[in-house]
A and B are shown apart, each in its own frame.
Chain A
Amino acid sequence: MALLDIKNMLVEFPGRHGTFQAVKDVSLEVAEGEILGLVGESGAGKSTVGNAVLNLLQAPGRLSSGEVWLNGERIDQLDKSMFRTIRGKRISMIFQDPMTSLNPIETIEFQLVETILTHMDISRSEAEKRAVDLLEQVGIPDAPKRIKQYPHQFSGGMRQRVVIALALSVEPELIIADEPTTALDVTIQAQILELIKDLCKSRNLGVILVTHDMGVIAETADRVAVMYKGALIEVGETQQILRDPKEPYTQSLIAAVPPSNIKIHRFPKVALAESDGSALQDFDLKGHWLASGEAHDPKGGTLLEVKNLSKRFLVQGAFLERNRTYVDAIKSISFDVKAGETFGLVGESGSGKSTVARVITGIHPATSGEMRFAGKDLTGKSGKQEAIAARQDIQMVFQDPYSSLNGRMKIGSIVAEPMIVNKLTSGAEERNEIVADLLELVGLGKDAARKYPHEFSGGQRQRISIARALATRPRFLICDEPTSALDVSIQAQILNLLKDLQEELNLTLLFISHDLPVIRQMCDRIGVMQFGELLEVNETEKIFEAPEHAYTQRLVSQMPKFMK
């Protein structure tokens, strides 16, 4: 008998435009001591399955039919008060964001002890002893002292360990972990996954690991269930699914994952993924406005030169200088970007890589140091006009496709705005033509110009963002985590598009990402950043095969390996 048995689960969300089926007829089993990976892209219904098991569906969502059995006991028909003896006691959960799943105004000890006392019949002193034991088990050093602290005194990874301790505190039979490492850096992710794996085996727990990340699945899960648009596509042993997927959807999903071990030219076309009408049109750019403009730089020459660049931010303002506090986001970094290449910046959160982009583009002024773009000074020291003129050639694609487009403007105006501001065209007619061509070029079609951003998906919005960036005819394009908010199949399309555009328009790219496999696919040379310092700059192959700096070695060794 399986530990958890889901039979024909159907979850519906009645809404204004008819009833939406979030989970369609899904049947799954989880055994004791087994980690079941539940993968799928956004909107696949994978989190909804977990929430339905826990009876945590957001209104108006409902479990319309199907059965949920836990250890031979049917739990889907229990009423709210009865369900409390299951949720948090027999089934625990670990959520994505450790910031919000702990109560910030209580100590760790209080939260652990209260949870234990609610569900177990033991004395307070026993519960306190148990709480310390749990923290030690999840690998928190100096547990007796740290248990008296508040959540904000723990780092992100440590906090997620506390959440895991909380989930284990009542000896559950099953843990549902919903994207437990998505908010964490790669080095911490590896530790947390190892911990979940150990606990599952040593305590004989069942675990449902909900994630969008194939690398996480490959490292952790025993079996994998693949979901697509609410339906269960394929279930099987992890290695069998990853190496030899039977269903076309699974095949295309796996093909879209950037391989960590080799550099490929282009990602294969993903047939079944969210259809964007994405096929890049054959487009002749010879003699076109987009390819005209200033003479392009010969390949190999230095385009951007950064010397001893520093940026400090004011954290606490005060009237007197000595009372102010600052943080150094970038500490005296130097690098060159050659014309026509893709230069990568990689690092964990807080390493200062996005700040580099914003200082180069002039969104934040530099504190000290030099920046030259094609010989022109960017810091504004030798004349503001020179910096402004040079920056017309530098554009940026942003991380969040939902906040990088003004929701109150039509796509046509968004893409046309750079040309209007910089007076690049002779009139409205020429401008509209160029907008239509740009939208064709990024694979959206010219009809998109009449619509508003909310009518597009994340991947399509990122294409619009690219079209806008291209509208000033830039020579240098900065991509700041352009795909980190996107699903893996959409990511593959966007990365392909960037590669195509780079070739056709002879662009130079600065590509910023925390995702090592993606960086490997995109870049010719890579700079590794940590705490505002540039530790190492080298050819891509060198970084991955023979990293020099100890931090780079650790980063590369801990990235989730997805074997093919």
Chain B
Amino acid sequence: MDMIKRALDSDLFYSFRRTPVAVVSAIVALSLILSAVFAPLLAPFNPFDPSSLNLMNGFSAPMEPNAFTGDSFIMGTDDQGRDVLSTILYGMRISLFVGVLAVLFALLIGVVLGLVAAYAGGRTDAIIMRIADVQLTFPSILVAMLIFGIAKGFTPIHLRDQMAIWVLIVSIGLSDWVQFARVVRGAALVEKKKEYVEAAILIGRGPIAIIFKHILPNVLSPVLVIATISLALAIIAEATLSFLGVGAPPTQPSLGTLIRIGQGFLFSGEWWILFFPAVTLLMLALSVNLLGDWLRDALNPKLDD
């Protein structure tokens, strides 16, 4: 109770209330996330249950009764008669699941390596940051594809579909840690020079305790900003990989998979199969991104008024 009161009274919440873009994107992002989480309750059909599908319903236009069965679908159906709205709700679950876990994975690696690089300095710093530099010379989607391909090669065939999601998380996470490492290293270099770190050395704290107990809490604000913006990027990366056919398998379609399926029908007039998943992806990525932008400004003391 006390925590909630303090949060509502904080400067951050004050800035949130006074930024309409932040409020709107928070509402959009939150409602998308909630509808994904509660997809089994909200979706009119279960797209993974073959018994609920009727091939006769295929290619129904949105809001129009099907010519054969007379059924009507809000966002229409795809070639197999699956309700597009339901596939989107279920697809968003996969997209968000992959995005969130990939960001957490990248965050864990990046923050630890960034802190170690900054605190140790010298050769350790040089080695970690040169690896990061080398990785930055490849487009991250290429890195993700490479890792995905290698990992797939090592997975037994009968497990591939099950493991695909996890491989996807690891490959996106590994392609994204550099940002966290760089930002954390920069912030930690500033913190390291502050006198409270010297005071901690003086009272006998060891390097591990200083890094994680003293420096880490003081570099978390930029990490929060990067994590939010990375979430949008990770969702898009997952969609791109799935669109290219190397991501989520058709048995567990993510938004990217849906867009890939939909684009085949774009020029034959069934626009809705592509359009609705694409708009959902756009709204999700945009709202999370705008939230990240606001957070960056709000946590920047130089822009404080």
Main secondary structure of the interface of B (DSSP, over half): helix
How many residue pairs at the A-B interface have CB separations less than 8 Å?
Answer: 61
Q: Which residues of B contact A363 (CB under 8 A)?
A: 198, 201-202
> In the complex, what's the smallest C-beta–C-beta distance from B5 to chain A, in angstroms?
16
Which A residues, 174 to 216, have Cβ-Cβ distances below 8 Å to chain B?
none
Instruction: Return chain A residues, CB-CB under 8 Å to B138.
Output: none
Check: A422 CB closer than 8 A to any chain B CB: yes
| Interface assignment of B64: CB less than 8 Å from any CB of chain A | no
Name the residue on B nearest A396 (C-beta).
B202
Asked if B49 is at the interface (CB within 8 A of a chain A CB), the reply is no
Is the CB–CB distance between A16 and B11 below 8 Å? yes
Which of A395, A403, A417, A418 makes the CB contact (< 8 A) with B195?
A403
Q: What is the bound-complex CA distance between A543 and B110, given in angstroms?
A: 55
Is there an interface contact between B204 and A421, defined as CB atoms closer than 8 Å? yes
The stretch of A109-117, A275-283, A405-413 that contacts the partner chain: A405-413
Asked if A400 is at the interface (CB within 8 A of a chain B CB), the reply is: yes
Residue contact B202 to A395, C-beta cutoff 8 Å: yes
Q: Confirm or deny: A468 has a beta carbon within 8 angstroms of a beta carbon on chain B.
A: yes
Complex: how many Å from CA A405 to CA B203? 13
Is residue B217 within 8 Å, beta carbon to beta carbon, of the partner chain? yes
Measured CA separation A409–B209 after assembly (Å): 14
Complex: A461 Cα to B207 Cα, angstroms: 25
B14 A16 Cβ-Cβ under 8 A: yes
Residues facing A in B193-211 (CB within 8 A) are 194-196, 198-205, 209
Q: How many residues of A contact B (CB 8 A)?
A: 32
| A404 and B196 form a contact (CB under 8 A) | yes
A250 within 8 A of B: no
CB distance from A359 to the nearest CB of B (A): 12
Q: Is B54 an interface residue (CB 8 A)?
A: no
- Which residue on A lies nearest to B193, using beta carbons? A403
**Cβ of A421 and Cβ of B205 under 8 Å apart?**
yes
CA distance A400 to B194 in the complex (A): 9
Q: How large is the interface on B (under 10, 10 to 19, 20 to 34, 35 or more residues)?
A: 10 to 19
Which of B14, B195, B200, B201 gathers most chain A CB within 10 Å? B195
Report how far A399 CA is from B217 CA in the complex, Å: 23
Is the pair B201, A60 in contact by a Cβ cutoff of 8 Å? no
A405 CA / B218 CA spacing, docked (Å): 11
B152 at the interface (CB under 8 A from A): no
Residues of A within 8 Å of B14, CB to CB, are 16
- Is A343 an interface position by the 8 A CB rule? no
For the complex, give the distance between the alpha carbons of A60 and B209 in Å. Answer: 42
**Is A392 interfacial (CB-CB < 8 Å)?**
yes
Q: Which residues of A contact B160 (CB under 8 A)?
A: none
Q: Mark A397-434, 1 if CB is under 8 A from B, else 0.
A: 01110011111110000000110011000000000000
Taking a contact as CB atoms under 8 Å apart, the answer to whether B204 and A396 are in contact is no
A40 CA to B201 CA, complexed, in Å: 37
User: At the interface, yes or no: A90 with Cβ under 8 Å from chain B?
Assistant: no
Q: For the complex, give the distance between the alpha carbons of A395 and B202 in Å.
A: 7
Choice from B194, B203, B209, B214 contacting A418 with Cβ under 8 Å = B203
- With both beta carbons as reference points, the residue of chain A lying nearest to B206 in the complex is identified as A421
Please, how many angstroms separate the alpha-carbon atoms of A394 and B194 in the complex?
Answer: 19
B128 CB, nearest partner CB in chain A, Å: 17
Which of B196, B199, B204 interacts with A422 by CB under 8 Å? B204
Of the candidates A398, A400, A403, A421, which one forms a contact with B203 in the assembled complex, judged by CB atoms under 8 Å apart? A421
Once the chains bind, are B202 and A422 in contact (CB under 8 Å)? no
Q: How far is B113's CA from A201's CA once the two chains are assembled, in angstroms?
A: 61
User: Nearest chain-B residue to A395 (Cβ)?
Assistant: B202
B199, A468: Cβ atoms closer than 8 Å: yes
Shortest beta-carbon distance from A134 to chain B in Å: 35
19 new A-B contacts, CB < 8 A, other than A398-B198, A408-B218, A421-B204, are A15-B305, A16-B11, A60-B305, A358-B198, A362-B202, A388-B204, A396-B198, A398-B195, A400-B195, A403-B194, A404-B199, A406-B196, A408-B217, A409-B217, A418-B203, A421-B209, A465-B199, A468-B203, A472-B203
**Sorted from nearest, which 4 A-B pairs have the closest CB atoms?**
A404-B195, A408-B217, A418-B203, A398-B195
